[in-house]
Structures are given as C-alpha cells and as structure tokens.
Structure 1
Amino acid sequence: MDGESGGEAERKVKKHKGKHDKPKPWDEDPNIDHWKVEKFDPSWNDGGMLEVSSFSTLFPQYREKYLQQVWPNVKSALKDYGISCELNLVEGSMTVSTTRKTRDPYIIVKARDLIKLLSRSVPAPQAIKILNDDMQCDIIKIGSLIRNKDRFVKRRQHLLGPNLSTLKAIEILTGCYVLVQGNTVASMGSFKGLKQVRRIVEDCILNVQHPVYHIKVLLMKRELAKNPALENVSWDRFLPKFKKKSVKHKKIKTKEKKPYTPFPPPQPPSKIDLELESGEYFLSDKKKSAKKWQEKQEKQSEKTAEKKRKREAAFVPPKESSGRVPDPDRSEDKNEMTEVAMSLKKKAKEFKKHEANENINAESFIINTSKPQSSKKQKSH
C-alpha cells in the first residue's frame, strides 16, 4: 500500500501547470503579422447563428426627423452583414438583431455601437464606418465627472477651442473622429487613438491638464517616431514636463458657529410694542406726523451742516509752524554726538602730549639739567 501511495505522489509532483504553454511553430514565424486584423470570411461560419441576439437603445426627440431620413441607408448597410434593424418612433428606440443570414458573430456588437453613435448625434455616413473590422468606437461620459455646471461648460469649450481648432488638432494627431455633444464625447478610430482621446478628454474635464499640452506632446511623439534610431529607446527625456501653476483662489469666508442652545431666541419686540414703550402709540395722528416731520428736519439739518463743513475744510489754510518742534529722537542723537565730540577732543590732547614727549632732544635735556646743579654748588661754596 505504501509503495502505491508513493508512486501516485511522484506522478503528482511530475505534473506542472503550464504543460500546454509550449512555444508553437507559428509564434516565431516572421511571415505572420500577429497584430493584423483579418477580414471575416463567411466560409468560416457556414452554419450561421444558433440563437437570436438583439440590442436596443433610446434616442432623443430632436434626432427623430434625421433618423427617419437616414434609416433606409442604415438598413441597407446592415443588410449586407445579415442584421435586421427597426426604428420605433412611438417608443423612441432603435433595435438591431441577428438573422439566419448572419455569419459574423461579432457583427451584432458592431451594430449595437452603430445605433449608439446615431443616438449621440454622429452623422450616419460616419457612424456606418464602425461596421469595418479596423474601426472601433468609444463613448466617454463627461457629464458625471464634475458637478458645477458653469465649470463643466467652460472645460468642455477647452476641448473645442476657438473655431474648433483644438478638436481638429486632436483628430489629426490621434487619427480618430471626435464629436463633443451634450454630456458625452463620441470617438471613432483605432484602439491606440481611442486611448489617447479618452485621456485628453478626462484630463481636460477634471482640470488635470489642458488639451493644448497633450497636443504638444503628441506632436513631439510624431516627430520622434520618424527617427528609426529611437525606436527601442525611452522618449521620456525628450518629452516636455508641464508643472501645474498654483493659482491664488479667493478665500471662502466661513461663519463662526454660535454655541448651540436648545431654547429658541427671544422674540424681537414688534412695532406696536416699541410705540407703547415710547408713548407714541397714544398720540394723535397730527402729533405723530408733526413728530416725524421734526425728526426729518433734524436729520436734514445735520446732513447739510456736515456737507458745509466738508466744503469749507478745503478753504482752511494749513497752520504755519512758528518754531522747530523738539523731537525726542533728535535730542538723543545730539547727546550721542556731543559725547563722541568730547571723546575725540580728549584723544587729540593725549596725542599732542605724546608727540611733545617724543620731540624732546636728549642733549638739550642733559644741558638744562646740569646748569641748575652748578649754580647750586656755587652757592654752597
């Protein structure tokens, strides 16, 4: 028993996970382009579809008239691929579904994208191009990225630019068709181009980077792609790095919260209560009007007096200064100056004395000292 269990364990150990992940002969074949999307051949699926698949989408009311005019062209384009379509004007919807003639299983997804683009205001000739194998689409929802409506409108305008110049530049550099409509941006093109368009749109609406900076980077990438020596080299050192400038925003004034009290504030006195307190309530109408007129006259007189004072203030001459006003700072400076002057005089006297001592002749000093001694000796004799 032990031997059998040991053999089973060895077999289990020998099994490895990627036994089917072996290199295939066509993986390294230079004649095969793995990125190429081959056109679908109906002979690949002679049996057709086993189940009916269908998609439907709503469209806005303003598109109703245009869709009625264009529907025959859309119907004929879908008929070539074995897809049936229906336009329901009562419900305001478009429906596409597979038939027995459908051979390509992925064409129903393309038909779904077609009716989505038509509902998002893409012209029918442009929308029909989505049925090609090399064409993809992406509908970017930008309405929910920002709450403030005014900011949303301004940032959406940045995508368009003056005379749609920014939008045209994005279309040329990415190789995609881009349509900004309402709360969505519909784009059609290759997978690489769609990825670039989505990044530009989201960065613009979220205020991360302006589309113009993205356009500059794409232009530089296009130029670098022309150089075959830089094909396998990182381009980060060539591309510009844009720093976001810090813009001063207005400070929002916040109101200080008052301490919470469970009791309601006291009711302010009414007009009648104030009249009762002042005693005006019991006056007659004549006295009330006379009092109002008197108050009005007093206010007018105060205002006229104030205006007169302001007018006359311009004609009053300034007062002339009779003498120099003593400045405490200046007096302190004077004291400091006198002290400095005195110290300099002292130093000068000391210097003169020192010079006088240095200029004394030694011989004359000896002679002068000897003369009075001799006289003294004579006197002593």
Structure 2
Amino acid sequence: MDAVENKDNNIDKRKKHKGKHDKPKPLEDMEVDHWLIVPSPNEECLLEVSSFSTLFPQYREKYLQEAWPEVKSALKGHAIACELDLVKGSMTVSTTRKTRDPYIIVKARDLIKLLSRSVPAKQALKILNDEMQCDIIKIGGLVRNKEKFVKRRQRLIGPNSSTLKALEILTHCYILVQGNSVSAMGSFKGLKQVRRVVEECMLNKMHPVYNIKVLLMKKNLASNPELANENWDRFLPKFKKKNVKQKKVKTKEKKEYTPFPPPQPPSKIDMQLESGEYFLSDKKKSAKKWLEKQEKQAEKTAENKRKREEAFKAPEEAQMQNDDKNHKDDIAAMAASLKNKAKEFGNRKSATDEINAEMYIAAPGQSSKKKQKN
C-alpha cells in the first residue's frame, strides 16, 4: 500500500510540474469573438508622422488644380493631410494626430500615384475603399525598340479600345494605358490577370486576344457547378507560337585588316606641282583657264548643234530593188499560168471537132434519144 501511495504522489508532482504549459489560451475561449472589429478610442494611435510624395507631369497641372478640393475633402474624412505643390510639381500626403487607421496612408499614397498617371479623380478616389486595390505596371523598360513598343502598346489597346474594354469586363478591373505605364484598379485576382496579360503582350509571348479567349472559357467553366472543382487544362486551348521566317539581314563583307592607314590623297598643290602649273605666272594661269573654258564651250555648242540637226534629218528610205524583183517574178508566174490555161482550152476545142455526128442521128427503125426520153 505504501508503494501505491508513493506512485500517486509522484504522478501529482509531475502534473504540477507540467501544469504551467497547460494554461488556457485566449484564442481557445469560444465565448469571445476575436474577429469583431472594435472601434479605436479617441486617443492618439499613431506615434510617428508618415508621409509620401510623388511628382506629376506638367500637362496634369491644370486638371489637378481643378480636382484638388474634391481630393482634399475625401482625404480629410480619413484624417489625412494633403498638399499640392505647383512650383516643384509634386503631391504630398501625410498622417495627422487624428488618424486612426494606419493603412489609410498607403491608400492615400496609391491615390496620388494614380492621379499623376492621368486617372480621373472620381475613379482614383475609389482606391480609398477596402475592397479596391491598385497595380501600376511599368511597360517602358520591357521593350527597347521604340517602334516595337508603340505597336505592342497599340495591340494591347486594340481598335477603338475594344481589346481593353473586353479585358476590363472579364477581369472586373479599371485599366488605363498612359505613356510608359498601365494603371489598373480592382480585386487582387483581377489585377493578377491584368498584369499577366500586359506583360505577355509587351514581351511578345502571346497576343491579348488569345488571353481574352482563355479568360472567357475560364469564366464559362467556373459558372458550371460540375466542373467548378476540376482541372481545366483539358478544356483550355493551347496556342503554339509559329516560327515565322524573318528577313535575312544583309551583312557587308569585312575587309582584311591592315595596320597601316590608307594612302593620303594628293592635295591641290601637289597636283599643280606635278602638272607644272604651280610655277606659272598669274597671267599664264588665267590664259590657260580661259583656253580651257573656250574648249568646253566649243564642245558644248557642237553637241547642241548635233542634237538640233537630228530633228531635221530625213528618215532613211526603204530599198526598192527587192520589191522590183518580186514584182517581176509575180508577172512571169501569171504569164506562165495564162499560157497553160490557153493550151488546155485549145485541147478541149480539138476534142469537140473529132466528135462523130452519127451518134446523134437516129436510124430509120429507131427513135432518137430525145424522143425516147419523152
């Protein structure tokens, strides 16, 4: 019995030793609603002042001046101070003593970023809502060639902004293409889809129309409850990139490398020294120039005269010898044919002379052929 009591005492001691780790945790209390949002007290919450500033282009200055009172009143409701500096061309937002929400300064930073990228003020103020997020996609550094960049950006927008509108409807996001950036506003899922489509378009990986087709098929599959939890890879189209033959760049043949520089062309003085003109006097030089000028003028006048005379030159007549020979041959052939015809006609006449008349005379006991016919 003593041994059993000793064992129980030892177990109690162990329990007491481990009991400090078995205390009830605050999250295990089911009576307390830990997800309940409790409004903060009126005391100061933020110990430090946070501020963000961004620059804006000069062409946005007039619009921001007009829309700034509306922006200021919207930020004042969240206890955020804002300032528009037209001299430096910047917008600044900062927290105040009355600010209660610590994340609202990040929303205010996104607001001024959107305003500087030509997003309308009414649309940009929606970013202050908790459900709305924004993403600024910088596309300027994705393409080096300026012509290719402009073409791909226009491909993203589409004719009459049709591609951009279709993308907005499918992703439920607001999209604005301005300069070297694309501003998008919406849910996290929609912003992720927009970024993928924009980057693939600018990097020439896939045309935005094909991405829109894929998004449309995903939307139809998500609406079907039977296929909502299945893998959709077998339903989605797979677009293969075709190898298009590119134009071969003409490369110039490289010349053999020579360490020596090319020979220097002779100067004007060197040429005069070779011809001996350098040692002539000024009078002889002027006389020589005048003679050369007269020779050139004579050559020019002779050439002009020759061109004028060509217009009055009579055309060459065709040779008539061959025509006369052909004509004589034709007459001889006609004479020979006429002689042959005359001979034939004479032969026919002699044949008629030899005809026996008795054949046409009827015998006394016979009737003539004409009478027999009758």
TM-score of the pair, normalised by structure 2: 0.65
Give the 3 Å change call, closer, same or farther, for CA 270–118 of structure 1 in structure 2. Answer: same
Give the 3 Å change call, closer, same or farther, for CA 294–42 of structure 1 in structure 2. Answer: farther
Contact 2:44 2:98 (8 Å CA) reproduced: no
Percent identity of equivalent pairs? 73
Gaps in structure 1 of 5+ consecutive residues = 1-21, 27-31, 33-37, 304-311, 313-381
Q: Once the 2 structures are TM-superposed, how far is the Cα of residue 258 of structure 1 from its aligned partner?
A: 2.6
Give the 3 Å change call, closer, same or farther, for CA 292–168 of structure 1 in structure 2. Answer: same
Q: What SS does structure 2 have at the residue aligned with 1:95?
A: strand
1:236: which partner in 2? 233
Cα deviation per residue 1:307-348 (whole Å; 9 max; x = unaligned)? xxxxx9xxxxxxxxxxxxxxxxxxxxxxxxxxxxxxxxxxxx
1:331: which partner in 2? none
Cα deviation per residue 1:176-232 (whole Å; 9 max; x = unaligned)? 000000111000001111111111111111111111111111111111111111122
Contact 2:153 2:202 (8 Å CA) reproduced: yes
1:104: which partner in 2? 101
The size of the alignment, in residue pairs, is: 273
Check if 1:167 corresponds to 2:164. Answer: yes
Letter of the 2:292 partner, please give it: K
1:212: which partner in 2? 209
Contact 2:134 2:184 (8 Å CA) reproduced: yes
Letter of the 1:212 partner, please give it: V
Check if 1:182 corresponds to 2:179. Answer: yes
Letter of the 2:88 partner, please give it: E
Gaps in structure 2 of 5+ consecutive residues = 1-24, 279-284, 308-315, 317-374
TM-score of the pair, normalised by structure 1: 0.64
Give the 3 Å change call, closer, same or farther, for CA 262–41 of structure 1 in structure 2. Answer: farther
Give the 3 Å change call, closer, same or farther, for CA 287–218 of structure 1 in structure 2. Answer: same
- Structure 2 distance, partners of 1:204, 1:253, is 29
1:141: which partner in 2? 138
Correspondence for 1:288 among 273, 285, 292: 292
Contact 1:77 1:128 (8 Å CA) reproduced: yes
Correspondence for 2:254 among 257, 276, 295: 257
Check if 1:95 corresponds to 2:99. Answer: no
Q: What SS does structure 1 have at the residue aligned with 2:125?
A: helix
Letter of the 2:70 partner, please give it: N
Q: Once the 2 structures are TM-superposed, how far is the Cα of residue 237 of structure 1 from its aligned partner?
A: 1.1
Bigger radius of gyration among the two: 2
Q: Once the 2 structures are TM-superposed, how far is the Cα of residue 233 of structure 1 from its aligned partner?
A: 1.3
Q: What SS does structure 1 have at the residue aligned with 2:105?
A: helix
- Structure 2 distance, partners of 1:179, 1:211, is 15
2:9: which partner in 1? none
Give the 3 Å change call, closer, same or farther, for CA 232–112 of structure 1 in structure 2. Answer: same
Give the 3 Å change call, closer, same or farther, for CA 208–110 of structure 1 in structure 2. Answer: same
Q: Once the 2 structures are TM-superposed, how far is the Cα of residue 42 of structure 1 from its aligned partner?
A: 3.4
Q: What SS does structure 2 have at the residue aligned with 1:116?
A: helix
Q: What SS does structure 2 have at the residue aligned with 1:228?
A: coil
Letter of the 1:284 partner, please give it: K
Q: Once the 2 structures are TM-superposed, how far is the Cα of residue 292 of structure 1 from its aligned partner?
A: 4.0
Correspondence for 1:81 among 78, 82, 93: 78
Give the 3 Å change call, closer, same or farther, for CA 137–299 of structure 1 in structure 2. Answer: farther
Give the 3 Å change call, closer, same or farther, for CA 75–243 of structure 1 in structure 2. Answer: same
Check if 1:66 corresponds to 2:63. Answer: yes
- Structure 1 distance, partners of 2:85, 2:275, is 78
- Structure 1 distance, partners of 2:221, 2:41, is 41
2:147: which partner in 1? 150
Give the 3 Å change call, closer, same or farther, for CA 300–144 of structure 1 in structure 2. Answer: farther
Letter of the 1:81 partner, please give it: H
Cα deviation per residue 1:268-296 (whole Å; 9 max; x = unaligned)? 23466567657899781243235545777
1:197: which partner in 2? 194
Give the 3 Å change call, closer, same or farther, for CA 299–165 of structure 1 in structure 2. Answer: farther
Letter of the 1:287 partner, please give it: L
Contact 1:78 1:111 (8 Å CA) reproduced: yes
Cα deviation per residue 1:8-45 (whole Å; 9 max; x = unaligned)? xxxxxxxxxxxxxx9x879xxxxx9xxxxx99763389
Correspondence for 1:42 among 20, 31, 39: 39
2:49: which partner in 1? 52
- Structure 1 distance, partners of 2:139, 2:193, is 16
Correspondence for 1:116 among 113, 118, 140: 113
Q: What SS does structure 1 have at the residue aligned with 2:226?
A: helix
Give the 3 Å change call, closer, same or farther, for CA 298–177 of structure 1 in structure 2. Answer: farther
- Structure 1 distance, partners of 2:269, 2:304, is 27
- Structure 2 distance, partners of 1:39, 1:248, is 63
Contact 2:49 2:96 (8 Å CA) reproduced: yes
CA RMSD of aligned residues (A): 3.3
Give the 3 Å change call, closer, same or farther, for CA 297–229 of structure 1 in structure 2. Answer: farther
Contact 1:42 1:103 (8 Å CA) reproduced: no
Give the 3 Å change call, closer, same or farther, for CA 224–300 of structure 1 in structure 2. Answer: farther
Letter of the 1:121 partner, please give it: S
